Chain A
Amino acid sequence: MNWQRTLGILALVSVAAGTLLGLFAAPADRLQGDVQRLLYVHVPTAWVAMCSFFVVFLMSTLYLVQRRLAWDLVAFASAEVGVLCTAVTLVVGSLWARPTWGIWWTWDPRLTTTAILLIIYVGYLIVRSMTEDPDQRARWSAVIGVIAFVQVPIVYLSVFWWRSLHQPPSSPRSMASSIGGVLLLNVVAYTIAFAYLVLRRYRLAERELALELAGPERER
């Protein structure tokens, strides 16, 4: 069995185990009830999203230094998974907030920054899809990948100040160890799944690029 498939099976098994444990083994929160179980999706996807955008930054920098298209493809694969995970984080968080806070959305710094993060990397993907030349595409998206990474902390800081001028942001919740253990398992499981997805997407992007380079006349 090749190692790629092994990684895929490992990802599937660990995510399944994490989900089942989160649904049945972990105790329900005394105050929030079963809604709290959304945590086991929300936190791992948020974690993976942050990882993926860091990978985008890393690969973009590597591309700009070495100019190897492979780095660009990894950045692209990672950005796509990151956008997906950010969207899932926001949706799941919103579903959790409605019964818990009583609202779908609040202008909390972390929420606001995450939403802006999503838009930044959607922009990254759209710019890619609108550029035909592979080298130009790699260059421009690497530039966006680097700039975005510089922007995000400043965006967070500014939103934090904006909110703190009006009201304190919502406080983080403490958790019991049984919940924390399952959560940690899920974070690890989602990270494996992230590695697998990026790997597969990278292989696909490689083939897409080869096709593009082989037959430019077949392009629109």
Chain B
Amino acid sequence: MRRAGAILWKDLLTELRTRQGFSAMLSFAALVLFLFSFAIGPETELLARLAGGLLWVAIVFTGTLALGRAFQSEELAGGVRLLRLYPGDPRAIYLGKLAANLVLLAALEAVLFPATEILFQADLGSHALPLAAVAVLGTGGFSIVGTFFSALTVHLRARELLLPLLLFPALVPIVLGAVGATDAVLAGDALGRAGGWIRLLTAYDVILFVVCVWIFPIVLEE
């Protein structure tokens, strides 16, 4: 646990010192939202109806970029090997990276949700609490699988292409669940359909977390 905390702290500190990654991610996410309205057209009602889906696609795209960087700083300086040389369970590396990715995405979503409300006139604000639960579960699932595949692809050639190729199929339940729950909440039935999607997200998060933590050490072996 302490080792995971140290890695989380290191990554956040690096990010805070440079701030490059985060501002680029934020601008990218904003651009994705803009591209959607350019592609779909300026009809406010249509955009409000699609808001849940558009928001989550923006989160997935931007999050994938963030994941691509997750192990990159280590990879460039041969740091993954160094991290592994420290005594203890290599799973701590996974947990630390996962936590760092979650913090980064939470900061991103803190901006992206209000931005969606403003740009697409979707009434996210009045459903803040259930939407926060959906965001936590959806982002959690994304980071659980994403951090895992990020570690797997970091040594590969053409990793920026392979990470999405491996990651997006795995994200199908996350995207369907998060979008389904968001749409259901926005449509006003917080208990009916949203509940099923939230259970699906929870089950996915738990199952994949267990599997990923379990086999992560194999990924880092040399």
Contact = CB atoms under 8 A, between A and B. Distances in A.
**Interface residue range, chain B:** 20 to 34
Interface of A: 64, 116, 119-120, 122-123, 126-127, 130-131, 136, 139-140, 142-144, 146-147, 150-151, 154-155, 157-159, 161-162, 165
B169 A116 contact: yes
Interface stretch (B21-29, B70-78, B97-105, B156-164): B156-164
A214 B94 CA distance: 36
Given A143-B152, A162-B176, A127 B218 contact: no
> Closest 7 CB pairs between A and B?
A158-B173, A123-B165, A158-B176, A120-B169, A162-B176, A123-B166, A155-B172
B211 A147 contact: yes
Interface in B135-159: 148, 152-153, 155-158
A161 B196 contact: yes
A64 B222 CA distance: 14
Contacts of B193: 165
Q: Which of B156, B176, B196, B211 counts the most chain A CB atoms within 10 A?
A: B176
Given A143-B219, A150-B211, A155 B169 contact: yes
A176 B200 CA distance: 38
B63 interface: no
A143 B218 contact: yes
B46 interface: no
B208 A150 contact: yes
A131 B176 CA distance: 32
A142 B221 CA distance: 13
Interface of B: 148, 152-153, 155-158, 162, 165-166, 168-170, 172-173, 176-177, 180, 193, 196-197, 200, 203-204, 207-208, 211-212, 215, 218-219, 221-222
B162 A126 contact: yes
B148 to A, nearest CB: 8
A131 B156 contact: yes
Contacts of B148: 147
A159 B158 contact: no
B21 to A, nearest CB: 25
A123 B169 contact: yes
Nearest to A140: B152
24 contacts: A64-B215, A116-B169, A119-B165, A120-B170, A123-B162, A127-B156, A131-B155, A136-B222, A139-B219, A139-B221, A146-B211, A147-B148, A147-B212, A147-B215, A150-B207, A154-B173, A154-B200, A154-B207, A155-B172, A157-B173, A158-B176, A158-B200, A161-B176, A161-B197
B170 to A, nearest CB: 5
Given A123-B166, A144-B152, A159 B180 contact: no
A122 B164 CA distance: 13
Contacts of B168: 119
A159 B176 contact: yes
Contact of B177 (A144, A150, A158): A158
Given A120-B166, A127-B166, 15 more contacts: A119-B165, A123-B162, A123-B166, A127-B152, A130-B157, A131-B155, A140-B152, A143-B215, A144-B166, A150-B211, A154-B207, A158-B176, A161-B180, A161-B196, A161-B197
